[in-house]
Amino acid sequence: MKYLVMVQGSQADYDAQAGKGSVDSPAWDEKAMQEMFAYMGSINDDLAESGELVTAYGLTEPAQGRAVSLDAEGRPVVSDGPYSETKELLAGFWILECESLERVTEIAARVARCPQPAGAPEYPVLIRTVGGGID
């Protein structure tokens, strides 16, 4: 079974990781960034070694994104990030092939334990089963 494992974040979190903290997300220093990358790298290495990793990506900050919707006449309405109406957005994801929901839940719990500075927001790690698709 394939699963999508998602981590969330906000523009404030990306700003904090760039050293610009706020009341919502304290600034990360270089050591905190290195610890986070090393931790996530070890997860990726373990998943690749076990054969469970299909793919994984971190996403750029919401400010570099764009939302497209339609107006009443069906014309595109384009909004550049960081989408002030949305607090949390997808920050990164893994597609995993695991034997059970219990196994992918163990992996998500490990992801949730990623080190971060004290006071940083904690988001749940989300799991969704991947339905039919094109391989």
Cα 109 to its chain centre, rounded Å, is 14
Query: Is the pLDDT assigned to residue 75 strictly greater than 80?
Result: yes
The residues facing 96 across adjacent strands are 3, 53
- Residue 126: which of 100, 97, 94, 103 has the closest Cα? 94
Which pairing describes strands 76-80 and 53-58: parallel, antiparallel, or unpaired?
unpaired
Beta-carbon neighbour count of residue 40 at 10 Å? Answer: 18
pLDDT at 77 (0 to 100): 92
Give the pLDDT band of residue 43 (cuts 50, 70, 90).
very high
pLDDT tens-digit profile of 76-86?
Answer: 999 887 665 56
| Region of residue 83 (left: phi > 0; alpha: psi -120 to 50; beta: else) | left
Within 18-100, residue ranges assigned H as helices are: 30-50
Interval 45-72: pLDDT, tens? 999 999 999 999 999 998 888 889 999 9
- The predicted-structure confidence for 76-133, as pLDDT tens digits, reads as follows 999 887 665 567 789 999 999 999 999 999 999 999 999 999 999 999 999 999 987 7
With H, G, I as helix, E, B as strand and everything else as coil, classify residue 113: coil
How many angstroms separate the Cα of 46 from the Cα of each of 41, 53, 78, 88, 98?
Answer: 9, 9, 40, 28, 13
